[in-house]
Amino acid sequence: MNEMSKPGAEAKSGHNAPGSATLTLDGTGKSVTLPLVPGTIGPAVADIRKVYPELGIFTFDPGYGGTAATESKITYIDGDAGILLHRGYPIEQLAEKCSFLEVAYLLLNGELPNKAQMAEFDTGVTRHTMIHEQLRRFYDGFRRDAHPMAVMTGVVGAMSAFYHDSLDINDPEHRRISAFRLIAKVPTIAAWAYKYSIGQPFMYPRNDLSYAENFLYMMNAVPAEPYNVSPVLARAMDRILILHADHEQNASTSTVRLAGSTGANPFACIAAGIASLWGPAHGGANEAVLKMLAEIGHPKNIPDFIAKVKDKNSNVRLMGFGHRVYKNFDPRAKILQETCHEVLTELGIKDEPLLDLAMELEKIATHDEYFVSRKLYPNVDFYSGIILKAMGIPTSMFTVLFAVARTTGWISQWKEMMEDPSQRIGRPRQVYTGAPLRDVPTAAERG
Ligand code: ACO
């Protein structure tokens, strides 16, 4: 029925000559010209805002696979080529040359910091690592066996009730302080969720440690004895945080933006993002990978498992494989594959059955026609689960760790949205397929 001229191949390769696409409503003689909005790189975007007013039809894109919901300068992904850039910098270089806090600064502010800027940023984050003492009491209200993501959602949301002096979303200084508070306090909240679940005392943050070191310290130390953080493990943790820091308009980030578009405060928005991240199709996948590997148990069971995955009636998926955007190797997965070996060597783990199983699965899946034809490659969660397990992080904390890292991306995206004068409330439309207009029958008529 509709005919839309496609953006040219040049636009796909990044040479976005301004132009337009035309959408014609067959049989009506009506058409609308859609301006093509160029990006710096990547495909141009047809601006469809006039489609409804001029043609009276909505566009339909369940799951938003082909719809840009916003303009953003933070992260670029080329899923076909396996490229991920933050503010133009390749993720591989950031993971190699920068610390997590430097990447956080970059995501928030657009440029990497110089020494003075970094020192100021570091101090800003460090000064906010403690949480309000009364917030501590929230933990007692949870069951000890609560999933730490449930605790995270609750406690981060509750921050709105404590930090009234940074809730004015129209004040740039309030926004800046909220960003510091979230980035700084989320590791403390996360580590305490873990400590609570195992009945150990909460460890207060240590501001002499780096971000990653401090997180490991709060997770693993106990007051009764000294705890030394291994530099290799701290580096691995820092790298995992960098690799999970931001990923364009994924489900949780879109949730944060949608919540933020209503004018909700940043703590409430990030709590919404945490809830969205929890699902096994998103951040919950690294936990699901470990559960899947345990279920498979032995390489000899892989063929049966793969057969189940291919059976459309089984509802079983190969967790840690596939991605909505990447139709190639996830660049983050490649980096983590190396980190995985470094960590296992540092820990002296030579024969890790789960890793052997994972490698075998990777080999089979990357050669099997089912996965190859659907372009299902290992994603970041495939390896992060194994590394975290080797580091002694309990499975239930995997997604929490993801949330700690992604808080930086969420708050950067929220800040960008707040600074955008064209920002409007997010309000998608629908194709209504329910009952047409009808009269309510009386109780007697309903029988
Ligand atoms: N195992 C088996 N088959 C799969 C998988 C998988 N992991 N992922 C996709 N497929 C198949 C689908 O069954 C479908 O096959 P069909 O064309 O024969 O019907 C085809 O590949 C396309 O799949 P979609 O569901 O359309 O892909 P979508 O883009 O909607 O889903 C997702 C992406 C959710 C990530 C999916 O690949 C998945 O569930 N993966 C496992 C969970 C996972 O690892 N999630 C982490 C994502 S990364 C992150 O959040 C950090």
**Residue percentage of the chain with pLDDT more than 90:** 75
pLDDT for 269 equals 98
Instruction: Give whole-number Cα distances, 299 to 42, 267, 337, 355, in Å.
Output: 40, 44, 19, 11
Secondary structure (3-state) at 439: coil
User: Does residue 374's CB lie within 6 angstroms of at least one atom of ligand 1?
Assistant: yes
User: Does residue 320's CB lie within 6 angstroms of at least one atom of ligand 1?
Assistant: yes
pLDDT for 356 equals 83
User: Does residue 309's CB lie within 6 angstroms of at least one atom of ligand 1?
Assistant: yes
Q: Which atom of ligand 1 is the closest one to the Cα of 379?
A: 48
Closest Cα to residue 399, out of 190, 139, 99? 190
Give yes or no: 381 in active site: yes
Is the per-residue pLDDT at 5 higher than 60?
Answer: no
Select from 376, 384, 388, 398 the residue to mutate for testing ligand 1; criterion: most ligand atoms less than 8 Å from CB: 376
pLDDT for 225 equals 96
User: Does residue 381's CB lie within 6 angstroms of at least one atom of ligand 1?
Assistant: yes
pLDDT for 11 equals 33
Whose C-alpha lies nearest to ligand 1, atom 26? 324
Rounded Cα–Cα distance for residues 102 and 91 (Å): 13
Whose C-alpha lies nearest to ligand 1, atom 31? 324
Binning pLDDT at 50, 70 and 90, where does residue 17 land?
A: low
Active-site annotation holder among 86, 122, 323, 330: 323
Rounded Cα–Cα distance for residues 224 and 3 (Å): 71
pLDDT, tens digit, 9 for 90 and up, residues 42-80: 999 999 999 999 999 999 999 999 999 999 999 999 999
Rounded Cα–Cα distance for residues 234 and 214 (Å): 9
Binning pLDDT at 50, 70 and 90, where does residue 314 land?
A: very high
Is the per-residue pLDDT at 9 higher than 70?
Answer: no
Is the per-residue pLDDT at 445 higher than 70?
Answer: yes
User: Does residue 251's CB lie within 6 angstroms of at least one atom of ligand 1?
Assistant: no
Average pLDDT, the chain: 91
Binning pLDDT at 50, 70 and 90, where does residue 7 land?
A: very low
Rounded Cα–Cα distance for residues 370 and 212 (Å): 39
Secondary structure (3-state) at 77: strand
pLDDT for 353 equals 82
Mean local confidence (pLDDT), 283-288: 85
Rounded Cα–Cα distance for residues 191 and 178 (Å): 20
Instruction: Give whole-number Cα distances, 320 to 192, 282, 377, 398, 406, in Å.
Output: 27, 10, 8, 13, 18
Q: What is the pTM of this model?
A: 0.89
Whose C-alpha lies nearest to ligand 1, atom 28? 324
User: Does residue 291's CB lie within 6 angstroms of at least one atom of ligand 1?
Assistant: no
Q: Which atom of ligand 1 is the closest one to the Cα of 330?
A: 48
User: Does residue 317's CB lie within 6 angstroms of at least one atom of ligand 1?
Assistant: yes
Rounded Cα–Cα distance for residues 178 and 415 (Å): 10
Q: Put residue 263 in one of left, alpha, beta given phi > 0 → left and psi -120 to 50 → alpha.
A: left
Secondary structure (3-state) at 356: helix
Sign of CA dihedral 378, 380, 381, 385: positive
Q: Which atom of ligand 1 is the closest one to the Cα of 309?
A: 2
Whose C-alpha lies nearest to ligand 1, atom 44? 320
pLDDT, tens digit, 9 for 90 and up, residues 379-401: 888 888 888 888 889 888 999 99
Whose C-alpha lies nearest to ligand 1, atom 22? 374
pLDDT, tens digit, 9 for 90 and up, residues 321-376: 999 888 888 899 889 888 887 888 888 877 778 878 888 888 888 899 999 999 99
Active-site annotation holder among 122, 238, 246, 381: 381
